[in-house]
Amino acid sequence: MRPLSQVNNPYKDDKNIDACALFGMINIEGTRFPFKDPLKAISNMRERGNGLGAGFAVYGIYPDHKELYAFHVMYLNRQAKRRVEKSLEEEFRVVLSEELPTKEAKVSNPPLTWRYFVEPNTSKVNEEKITEDDYVMKNVMRINVSERGKALIFSSGKNMGVFKGVGYPEDIAEYFCLEEYEGYMWICHSRYPTNTPGWWGGAHPFSLLDWTVAHNGELSSYGANRRFLEAYGYKCTMQTDTEVLTYAFDLLVRKHKIPLELVPKILTPPFWDEIDQMQQKQKQLLTALRQTYSGLLMNGPFSLIVARQGQMIGLPDRMKLRPLTAGMGGSFLYLSSEEAAIRVVQPTLDKVWNLTGGEIVVGMVKAPAFVRLQLATMR
């Protein structure tokens, strides 16, 4: 048996089964703000977590190095660190490497955590004729797969960073000294897993390049989604359903250039009966999307907060089986598992509503208004 400290899913369940608290807030002016409000909100939903995992993704965190990919890496031992660093030196130009600042907190068995600011080896990128993002993704996946949990690159985007581990949100925030950072968008997660992962890498949010996914739910379609994505070159190694959501967004939006507002038409599409009744053009479009990406239909109860540079997206499942509330107040858009968590940081909101099944909410920095699209409605 593998040591529990190295794996996300020690009992090799099909996937991780958990319930969670989600919270995200974005300042649409792009103004950076500290961790106080997001932490207060996520901590307010203590019932939804059980201290076995929490995490934060912060955007706009590294303005001084915003052109460089920021890797956050956890190591279980010095050998793993040497191996990964050797690999990084070969594939990247490492501009800065340092230990992530940490301090005493109520957490158990923290791994070594380091951060690297890197840029891809240009000649290798050109040689392989792929984009820089694809190059970074390929190498991150390669390292994560080959290290088998001994090392994990858990954050790999530009000007953003993920901090996560085993503990309650306030403990993780304290451990990683989050008071030192500011960002214009914070995505927070607190977990209630049904197994007992001792591995810090298993905490949420999951991140790849600048995509972050925080997820409350369980995908009944996980097996179908995983097999579909594997045919597109993604390697699902974490035995958790959140991973496939991350890759689905990456495939659709970054690689296949599907506009964000159409993504729910794939992940949580309208029913065929509804598509049948649409006008010819829209019917063809939705039919093409649903047929082509049938393996990405996400089934089961979930609510999602997906983020990337400048954007925060909220999406509940087709039938709205898990909660997700949106709120607008001042220059902020909030997404949360519970309205109370939004009210605790912003008692007066201009607008607050519960998302319906398949409804997407997108908050964008410097967007003229929040975009709200009614996409798939239940009968």
Partner 1 sequence: MKTYLPPEYIVKRDVKLCNKCKVCIQQCTYGVHYYDEKEDCMLSRDENCVNCQRCVFFCPKHAIIIRKNLVSYRKNHHWTSEVITAVKKQAETGRAILTGMGCDKPNLTYWDKLLLNASQVTNPSIDPLREPIEIRTYLGKKSKQVELALTGEVVLKTELTPQLCLEIPVMFAAISYGAVNLNVQEALARAAVECGTYFNCGEGGLHPNLYRYGDHLIVQVASGRFGVHPEYLNIGAAIEIKIGQGAKPGIGGHLPGEKVGKEIAEMRMIPVGTDALSPAPHHDIYSIEDLKQLVYALKEATGYAKPVAVKIAAVHNTAAIASGIARSGADIIVIDGVLGATGAAPKVIRDNVGIPIEFALASVDERLRNEGIRNEVSIVASGSIRSSADVVKAIALGADAVYIGTAALVAMGCTVCQRCYTGKCPWGIATTDPEISKRLNPEEASRRLINLLNAWGIEIKEMLGGMGINSIESLRGNREQLRGIGLSESELRILNIKPAGR
Find the binder of partner 1 among 2, 14, 196, 330 (CB under 8 A).
14
Question: Torsions phi, psi of 238, nearest 5?
Answer: -95, -5
Active site residue 20: yes
Nearest of 238, 347, 294 to residue 6 by alpha carbon: 238
Contacts 24+ apart (CB under 8 A), 228-232: 228/293, 228/294, 228/295, 228/296, 229/295, 229/296, 231/295
Q: Which of residues 110-149 bind partner 1 (CB under 8 A)?
A: none
Strands (E), the chain: 18-27, 54-59, 69-75, 92-99, 112-120, 151-155, 160-165, 185-193, 206-208, 211-217, 302-308, 311-316, 325-329, 332-336, 351-354, 360-364, 371-373
Which residue in the set 21, 289, 306, 345 belongs to the binding site for partner 1 (CB under 8 A)?
A: 289
Residue 353 touches partner 1, criterion: CB under 8 A:
no
Quote the least distance from Cβ 271 to partner 1, whole Å.
Answer: 6
Q: How far is the CB of 223 from partner 1 (least distance, A)?
A: 4
CB 288 within 8 A of CB 315: no
> Does 198 help bind partner 1 (rule: CB under 8 A)?
no
Establish if 376 lies at the interface with partner 1 (CB under 8 A): no
Rounded to a whole number of angstroms, the minimum distance from the CB of residue 295 to partner 1 is 7
Per-position x/- string for 304-343, each x denoting binding to partner 1 as judged by CB under 8 A, each - no binding: --------------xx-x----------------------
Q: What SS3 state is found at 346?
A: coil
One of 31, 122, 126, 292 touching partner 1 (CB under 8 A): 292
Q: How far apart are CA 309 and CA 157, in angstroms?
A: 9
Beta carbons of 258 and 268 less than 8 angstroms apart: no
Q: Is 332:264 a contact under the CB 8 Å cutoff?
A: no
Site for partner 1 in 45-104 (CB under 8 A): none
Amino acid sitting at position 356: T
- Look up residue 228 and give its two tokens: 């579909």
Site string (204-243) toward partner 1, x via CB under 8 A: --------------x-xxxxxx-xx-xxxx----------
Rounded distance, CA 351 to CA 328, Å?
Answer: 5
Q: Of 112 and 262, which has the nearer Cβ to partner 1? A: 262
Under the criterion CB under 8 A, does residue 373 sit at the interface with partner 1?
no
Choice among 20, 177, 188, 236 that is catalytic: 20
Q: Could you give the strand order of the β-sheet that contains 151-155, starting from the edge strand earlier in sequence? A: 92-99, 112-120, 69-75, 151-155
Of 17-25, 53-61, 331-339, 360-368, the window that binds partner 1 (rule: CB under 8 A) is 17-25
Q: Determine if 19 is a binding residue for partner 1 (CB under 8 A).
A: yes
- Looking at the Cβ atoms of 259 and 347, the one nearer to partner 1 is 259
User: Measured from the CB atom, is 232 or 370 closer to partner 1?
Assistant: 232
Task: Please check whether residue 295 is in contact with residue 228, taking contact to mean a CB–CB distance below 8 angstroms.
Answer: yes
Using the minimum distance from each CB to partner 1, give the nearer residue, 133 or 218: 218
DSSP state for residue 183 in the 8-state scheme: B
CB 292 to partner 1: min, Å: 5
Binding site for partner 1 (CB under 8 A): 12, 14-15, 17-19, 194, 218, 220-225, 227-228, 230-233, 256-259, 262, 271-273, 281, 284-285, 287-289, 291-295, 297-301, 318-319, 321, 378-379
Active site residues: 20
